[in-house]
Amino acid sequence: MEPDTIFIYTDYREYLKAYFDKRKKNDPKFSHRYLSRRLGLTSPNFIMMVMQGKRNLTRTLRFRISEEFHHLPKEAEYFECMVCFTQAKNIREKDLYFNKMARLRQKTDVNKIEERQYEYYANWFNPVIRELITHPDFKGDPVWLAKKILPRISSSQAKNAVELLLELGLIENKNSTYSQNSKLISTGPQVTSLALANFHRSMAKKAAEAMDTIPREERDMTACTINLSKKGFEDVRDVIADCRKKILKIAGAETTTQRVYQMNFHLFPVSADIPPESSR
C-alpha cells in the first residue's frame, strides 16, 4: 500500500479490511485462506473473524502480519499501538496507546483532524469557551476568557482553545464577532467513545470539586439511590433524556445570559444484578 496509508486508521480491523480489499483487487488469487496460510494459522477464516471483531490478535500474530505486509519500522510500531488501542479493556489503556499513535503520526502528512477532534473533549474548558465566546464583552481577548473560567486557566490555554474551535468549525469569527456553528464533533467510534469517556470523567471530577469551591446558593446538587428493574432503568434513562432536551430548549430561548453552567446526569449500578423471582 502507499506510504503512510496505515496512519489514517485508528481501528486496526478497519485497516486490515482496507488492506485486504486493495490487495485482493490487485491479485484475484489473494484470499483469507491464503493470508491465513502465510501467517501460519490453522483456521482459514481466522483473519476474517478478526476483521469482524470476533477474534483478537496476539502479539505474535501482530508481528507476523507486519512482516507479511512489509511494514517499515514506524508502520510496525503504529500497527502494534493500533491493535493495543482497539483491544484495550479500559480508558487508561486507550489513552496511552492513542497518544502513542498521535506521536507516530506527527512526522507524516496524514490529516490530523481526528486528533484535533479528540483534543476538543480532552480539555474540559473547550466546551465552556465555546459558550463564552458569544458574550458581547468578548472581543477576541484570550485574557478575558481565561479570567472568566472557573477554575482559572491560562491565557495561552484560552487562546489555543479558540484556535481549536475555529479549526474544527465549531465557531466562526467575522469582524471580531464570534458565533457558534451547529457543526457536531464526529470521529470514529473508537476515538469518540474514548474522548467522551474522558470528558465525562473530567466533568464528574469538576462536580466533586465544586462542592468545596462553589457556594451552595450558586449550585444545585442532589442524588437518590433507587431500586429498579431493567425496564425501570430504561424508563428513568428516557426521563433523563427528556429532561436534558427541555433544559437545552430553555437555554436556547435565553437572550441575556450571565454564566456558563455544567449539568451532569449520572445513573449507574451500585449493586450486583439480582434476577427477579420469576427468572430464578
User: What's the confidence (pLDDT) of residue 12?
Assistant: 92
Model pLDDT, residue 272: 85
Confidence at residue 84, expressed as pLDDT on a 0 to 100 scale: 94
- What is the pLDDT at residue 108? 67
pLDDT digit string, tens, across residues 47-71? 999 999 999 999 999 999 999 999 9
The residue written with cell numbers 507479511 in the block is 68
Looking up cell 430561548 gives: 253
CA distances, 179 to each of 15, 113, 171, 190, 205 (Å): 38, 21, 6, 30, 29
Of 180, 199, 185, 184, residue with least CA distance to 138 = 180
Q: Please check the confidence at residue 39 and state whether its pLDDT lies above 60.
A: yes
Report which of residues 16 and 28 the model is more confident about.
16
Cell numbers 491479485 correspond to 27
Residues 237-249, mean pLDDT to the nearest whole number:
91
Q: Which residue has the cell 485508528?
A: 10
**Centroid of chain to Cα 264:** 18
pLDDT band at 9 (very low <50, low <70, confident <90, very high): confident
Residue 160: predicted pLDDT: 92
Can you tell me the distance from the alpha carbon of 23 to that of 116, in angstroms, rounded to the nearest whole number?
31
What's the whole-number mean pLDDT along residues 203-229?
90
The whole-number pLDDT of residue 189 equals 63
Determine the average pLDDT of the residues in 175-198. Answer: 71
Place of cell 476483521: 51
CA atoms of 166 and 181, how far apart (whole Å): 10
> Strands, DSSP E only, in the chain?
171-174, 177-180
- Euclidean distance between CA atoms 261 and 15, whole angstroms: 41
Please give the pLDDT value at position 180. 87
Region 92-111: what's the mean pLDDT?
79
Q: Is there a contact between 72 and 6 (Cβ–Cβ < 8 Å)?
A: no
Query: Which whole number is the average pLDDT over 270-275?
Result: 83
Looking at residue 3, what is its pLDDT?
43
Asked whether the CA dihedral 185, 189, 191, 194 is positive or negative, the reply is positive
Q: What single DSSP character describes residue 171?
A: E
The band of 186, judged by pLDDT with boundaries at 50, 70 and 90, is: low
Q: What is the pLDDT of residue 1?
A: 46
pLDDT digits (tens, 9 = 90+) for 104-160: 887 665 545 566 777 787 788 999 999 899 888 898 899 999 999 988 999 999 999
Whose cell is 451547529? That residue is 182
Positive/negative CA dihedral, 111, 115, 121, 125: negative
Beta bridge partners of 179: 172
CA distances from 235 to 225, 226, 238, 271 (A): 16, 13, 5, 19
Q: What is the mean pLDDT of the chain?
A: 86
Rounded-to-integer distance, Cα 205 and Cα 211, Å: 10
Contacts of 265 (CB under 8 A, 6+ apart): 240, 243, 244
Instruction: Note the pLDDT of residue 114.
Output: 64
